[in-house]
């Protein structure tokens, strides 16, 4: 038993090192002198904290951060509203072929989104929504609602019908039952959905790459990608920018990691 | 008793149905038409050319490359990633000191942005200045130190595969841990009484009872890896010499770089069919192995 525990620690230590070394390299290179020789194997000799403010300025990170937050806010709230309503309709819509709609929505988890990219691109152009955050948000909502709908549907199936029937007998309208009786019960699913949707939107790369071509509308991931094409040899500054881009989600993860892991894994397992 | 009437049913369904149909399903389904046309992607109009796109796809060497790379990503990556993550899940399911912290660190790359990860690893691999050359040099392994991992057609796809494994092993590990927690400890206790050793317990109890988790996990990674675009786009853009092209990068390039979206759409149709076939077969095959507790 002792030997087994020691070897467990050994194997886990190797895995931890493989995960942590690249992150250490990111940190240490981001603090090294941009014009000197880089040493990824050790801490910097002098700490060049100035790489960070420079990265913010050169990479226009404040603007891109605001853009990312805007897209996230719109797409998160719209996805939640759409999927909670649809999940509820599907739960109570057996009389109107709800299971057909359900399979139709589930296609969204399997089909490759890029199969319809140009069509969506042209559609957004027709609607003058190209290069707008609203346009990207709409695409994210449409492409990301399958899993939340599924999660809400599964959840509503576990709510005993008697609760809603009792409210109905008391004379509640369907909309009031939904809003005052059912929605308050959804907090656990909603928190899972929030995490999945928010992380997908925040890390979305393909969407903004295609639908946001003007430099001013870029979100953080795309802004970061163009950082390299413009300043390719400057690893320390690029890494300072990368560390800053990774910062918000990392801080959040440090405080509520259990919650985030549970949300992402729970969303996947039930899906 | 009906909670919703037809009017409220439609009212509740409408926002999701409209957005989903207009901006997701509709565009993809219309690809079923555009795949048979010489569409230029400038407007919605196009000329019907029958099966020409598909005939060209099958004789396109890039299609063969994309298939080969998809195979590497979907089979090799998943075999390695899942072997490691099942193993880690079992290890970190024990009561070790600091185990919550260790799990959290191993999971962490899964929430990082692909661009950040792409940059970190581009640097790790980059010749002369990067981490790996310096690391191998300091160990005296000069032959390894001189390899340009992302710059050589024969190593690039494997270098990228490693990054994908690095990012998602923790994620699959967590799904396996959720599966492990569903296995009742009674089974292990009675096995111990019958004299089973740790290895027998793993192969005769843990693994068979993990099959549902393996199914979920494999389907997730297979679909994800068959749709792969981001990691490759950030690190190599399909190069060097097209050696890391996958369907995602090819379709993107045909659509936005070379103005052959009709052709790209034909490829996307083939990819969608492949994904659905593979998903269904995985669920079928693994479903047969499932045992009841």
**Which of A261, A263, A267 should we substitute to test contact with B (largest number of B Cβ atoms within 10 Å)?**
A261
**What is the crossing angle of helices A117-126 and B261-289, to 10°?**
130
Burial label for A206, CB within 10 Å (0-12, 13-18, 19+), is: buried
Specify the pTM.
Answer: 0.92
Cβ within 8 Å, pair B129-A104 = no
* pLDDT in the model for residue A69: 96
* B243 contacts B156 by C-beta, under 8 angstroms: yes
Token duo for residue A63: 């603007």
Give the distance, in angstroms, between the CA of residue B129 and the centroid of all CA atoms in the same chain. Answer: 30
Give residue B45's pLDDT band: very low, low, confident or very high (50, 70, 90). Answer: confident
* pLDDT in the model for residue A230: 63
So what's the ipTM on this one?
A: 0.90
pLDDT digits (tens, 9 = 90+) for A94-131: 888 888 999 999 888 878 777 888 889 999 999 999 99
- Calpha distance A108→A128 (Å, rounded): 25
Q: Which residues of B touch A112 (CB under 8 A)?
A: 226-227, 247-248, 268, 271-272, 275
Cβ within 8 Å, pair A221-B114 = yes
Total domains in the fold of chain B:
1
- Whether the per-residue pLDDT at A1 is higher than 60: the answer is no
> Would you list the DSSP string of chain A?
-HHHHHHHHHHHHHHHHHHHHHHHHHHHHHTS-TTS---TTS--SS--TTHHHHHHHHTTHHHHHHHHHHHHHHHHHHHHHHHHHHHHHHHT-GGGTHHHHHHHHHHHHHS-GGGGHHHHHHHHHHTT-TTSHHHHHHHHHHHH-HHHHHHHHHHHHHS-HHHHHHHHHTT--HHHIIIIIIGGGGHHHHHHHHHHHHHHHHH--HHHHHH--SGGG--HHHHHHHHHHHSTT-HHHHHHHHHHHHHHHHHHHHHHHHHHHHHHHHHHHH-
Q: Which of B12, B115, B275 sits opposite A221 (nearest CB)?
A: B115
More confident residue, B219 or A110: B219
Residues 6+ apart with CB under 8 A from B109: A19, B117, B166, B167, B168, B170
* pLDDT in the model for residue A231: 61
B34 in a domain, yes or no? no
Residues 6+ apart with CB under 8 A from A271: A109, A147, A150, A151
Token duo for residue B111: 């929430």
Q: What's the N-to-C CA distance of chain A in angstroms?
A: 38
Token duo for residue A90: 């599907």
Q: Which of residues 124-163 of A touch B (CB under 8 A)?
A: 138-139, 141-143, 145-146, 149, 161
Least confident of A58-72, A101-115, B247-261, B262-276: A101-115
CATH number of the structural domain spanning residue B152: 1.10.3720.10
* B221 contacts B172 by C-beta, under 8 angstroms: yes
More confident residue, B188 or A3: B188
Minimal-distance CA residue of chain B relative to A85: B12
- Whether the per-residue pLDDT at A270 is higher than 70: the answer is no
Q: Which residues of B touch A122 (CB under 8 A)?
A: 41, 43-44
Q: Which residues of A touch B216 (CB under 8 A)?
A: 268-269
Cβ within 8 Å, pair A40-B131 = yes
* A132 contacts A75 by C-beta, under 8 angstroms: no
* pLDDT in the model for residue A100: 92
pLDDT digits (tens, 9 = 90+) for A188-211: 899 989 999 999 999 999 999 999
The domain locations on chain A are 62-270
* pLDDT in the model for residue B41: 80
More confident residue, B92 or A233: B92
* pLDDT in the model for residue B83: 92
Burial label for A110, CB within 10 Å (0-12, 13-18, 19+), is: middle
- Calpha distance A255→B64 (Å, rounded): 46
**Which of B10, B11, B15, B16 should we substitute to test contact with A (largest number of A Cβ atoms within 10 Å)?**
B16
From the list A200, A93, A185, A195, the residue with the least C-alpha distance to A140 is A200
CATH for A62-270? 1.10.3720.10
Give residue A271's pLDDT band: very low, low, confident or very high (50, 70, 90). Answer: low
**Residue B183 structural domain:** 46-289
């Amino acid at each position: 038993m002792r030997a087994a525990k020691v070897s467990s620690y050994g194997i886990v230590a190797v895995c931890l090192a493989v995960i942590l070394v690249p992150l250490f390299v990111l940190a240490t290179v981001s603090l090294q002198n941009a014009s000197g020789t880089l040493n990824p194997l050790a801490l910097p000799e002098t700490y060049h904290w100035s790489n960070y403010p420079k990265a913010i300025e050169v990479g226009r990170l404040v603007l891109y951060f605001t853009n990312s937050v805007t897209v996230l806010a719109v797409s998160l709230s719209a996805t939640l509203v759409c999927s909670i309503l649809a999940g509820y309709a599907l739960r109570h819509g057996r009389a109107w072929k709800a299971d057909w709609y359900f399979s139709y929505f589930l296609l969204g988890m399997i089909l490759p989104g890029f199969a319809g990219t140009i069509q969506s691109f042209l559609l957004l152009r027709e609607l003058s929504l190209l290069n707008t955050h609203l346009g990207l948000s709409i695409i994210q909502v449409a492409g990301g609602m399958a899993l939340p709908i599924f999660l809400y549907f599964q959840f509503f199936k576990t709510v005993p019908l008697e609760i809603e029937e009792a409210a109905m007998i008391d004379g509640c309208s369907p909309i009031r039952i939904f809003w005052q009786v059912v929605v308050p019960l959804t907090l656990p699913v909603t928190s899972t959905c929030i995490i999945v949707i928010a992380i997908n939107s925040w890390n979305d790369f393909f969407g903004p790459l295609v639908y946001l071509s003007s430099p001013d509308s870029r979100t953080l991931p795309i802004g970061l990608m163009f950082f390299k094409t413009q300043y390719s040899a400057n690893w320390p500054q690029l890494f300072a920018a990368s560390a800053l881009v990774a910062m918000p989600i990392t801080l959040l993860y440090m405080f509520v990691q259990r919650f985030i892991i549970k949300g992402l894994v729970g969303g996947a397992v039930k899906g | 008793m009906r909670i919703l009437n037809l009017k409220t049913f439609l009212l509740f369904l409408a926002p999701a149905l409209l957005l989903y149909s207009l901006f997701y399903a509709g565009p993809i389904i219309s690809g079923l038409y555009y795949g048979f046309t010489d569409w230029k992607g400038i407007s919605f109009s196009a000329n019907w050319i029958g099966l020409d796109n598909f005939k060209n796809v099958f004789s396109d060497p890039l299609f063969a490359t994309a298939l080969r790379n998809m195979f590497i990503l979907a089979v090799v990556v998943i075999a390695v990633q899942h072997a490691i993550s099942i193993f880690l899940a079992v290890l970190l399911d024990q009561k070790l000191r600091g185990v919550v912290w260790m799990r959290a660190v191993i999971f962490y790359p899964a929430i990082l942005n692909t661009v950040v990860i792409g940059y970190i690893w581009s640097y790790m691999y980059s010749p002369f200045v990067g981490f790996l050359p310096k690391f191998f040099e300091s160990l005296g392994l000069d032959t390894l130190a001189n390899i340009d991992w992302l710059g050589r057609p024969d190593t690039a796809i494997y270098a990228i595969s490693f990054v994908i494994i690095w990012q998602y092993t923790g994620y699959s590990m967590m799904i396996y841990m959720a599966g492990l927690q569903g296995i009742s400890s009674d089974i292990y206790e009675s096995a111990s009484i019958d004299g089973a050793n740790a290895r027998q317990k793993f192969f005769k109890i843990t693994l068979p009872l993990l099959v549902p988790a393996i199914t979920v996990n494999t389907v997730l990674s297979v679909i994800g890896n068959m749709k792969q675009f981001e990691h490759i786009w950030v690190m190599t853009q399909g190069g060097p010499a097209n050696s890391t092209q996958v369907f995602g990068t090819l379709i993107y390039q045909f659509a936005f770089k070379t103005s052959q979206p009709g052709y790209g759409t034909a490829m996307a149709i083939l990819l969608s069919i492949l994904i659905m076939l593979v998903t269904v077969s995985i669920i079928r095959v693994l479903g047969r192995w499932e045992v009841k507790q």
